[in-house]
Amino acid sequence: MGSINASSPQLTRSAVSAAHELIKEHIHLTPVQTNTTLSTLASTPQTAEALKGTQWEGQTPAYPKIKLFFKCENMQRIGAFKVRGAFHAVKRLIEEQGLEEVQRKGVVTHSSGNHAQGVALAARTFSIPAHIVMPTISTPSKIAGTQSQGAIVHFSGSTAQEREAVVAKIIERTGAILVPPYDHPNIMIGQGTMALEIQAQVDELVRNDPALSAYGGEKGKTLDAVITPCGGGGMLSGNAIALHNTGIKVFSAEPSFQGGDDARRGVEAGARIETVKTLTIADGLRTPLGDWTWKIISDSKYVAGLYSVTEENIKDAMRLVLERMKCFVEPSAVVGLATILYNEDFRKMVEKEAGEEGWNIGVVFSGGNTTIEAITKIFATVPEGVAKRAEGTVGKDGKKEVENVAG
């Protein structure tokens, strides 16, 4: 298979910085937002009722102190972070083979939607033919978005193996160069550029308003951790590379539905899980880790912990973001927030490690490529748990705290 390989860059923070310089003219500097309501909820113990029926039933709920900083990649070009890795990979291809040669061969990739749109945009920018293999179950808006960039869309089954089989046929027929959706250093490093931005943006926010920080911005660093969704692991590994040895911990969040938490389970078992078949509503996270991403994600020096959440947790978090932040996101985007709010293992870890000072946590909203129709379907049944929790929270003194809906 023809693929981007050439002289793969080293997986270092300096490589991520170089990637940022290369692509910044093609991407948006997406905002980092804060929200009083969601930080208050994150810092409030879950109720016994909320924990009923979970593995934490009967346990004393965690009481972490958390301030949240949301990196809004849903406001990125094509509505998702994937454009970062796509532009980096395509520009490196052009450097290595020359624009005319890449234009002659074209590029090909497989994706459920966001990477598809990213590669299609990058290819259109440089007048390169693009073949995109998409599962037939892809969100219609993502298919339409890919086609609108001028790419040729080919349909396949939903598993990685089914997608790759169609890609192989296209390469055999056209000679197109494969731009992998996540499992390549150029993709990983491109995605990691967001971490450089998060770190700098949170520093500036806290410097201008110390009250935004869990500890008033008094520490040497202002960001304690970053949590990202994990599907194939390109974004997670890229962030981990960018923040390695900075003192900022990186965490992973996945859907547990039908084994969608393959990264967590694989790391726990000590072996990469190579196939995943899940129909989680977090459709951008339905892929397994690749060889490259596994090397980073399975190393605790890079990724400090991996966690998972239920479909109901994802729905509850999405409802909060839509209603309280007034922010349009897709289900995959809120898996990190869902982990912070509802996964007691994560919450207990923060409570223990952060202590009374608390943590400032960067939360990546990975994308916003969904539709009103899809959201309506997701919320056809109103979840009771989030409604009760959002009505008001109770502090240690037993007094009800009034939440700032505007954030």
Cβ(118)–Cβ(78) under 8 Å? Answer: yes
Nearest to 22 by CA among 89, 98, 80: 89
End-to-end CA distance of the chain: 49
Q: Distance of CA 171 to CAs 106, 130, 132, Å?
A: 10, 11, 11
Nearest to 121 by CA among 135, 134, 136, 132: 132
Instruction: Choose the catalytic residue: 71, 82, 91, 315.
Output: 82
Instruction: List CB contacts of 148: < 8 A, sequence separation 6 or more.
Output: none
Enumerate the H helices of 220-290 as residue ranges: 234-242, 262-269
Instruction: Choose the catalytic residue: 39, 112, 158, 252.
Output: 112
Cβ(186)–Cβ(92) under 8 Å? Answer: yes
Cβ(317)–Cβ(338) under 8 Å? Answer: yes
Cα–Cα distance for residue pair 297/216, rounded to 1 Å? 31
Q: Catalytic: 249?
A: no
Instruction: Name the 3-class secondary structure at 246.
Output: coil
Q: Catalytic: 82?
A: yes
The number of beta carbons lying within 10 Å of the beta carbon of residue 274 is: 14
Active site residues per annotation = 82, 112
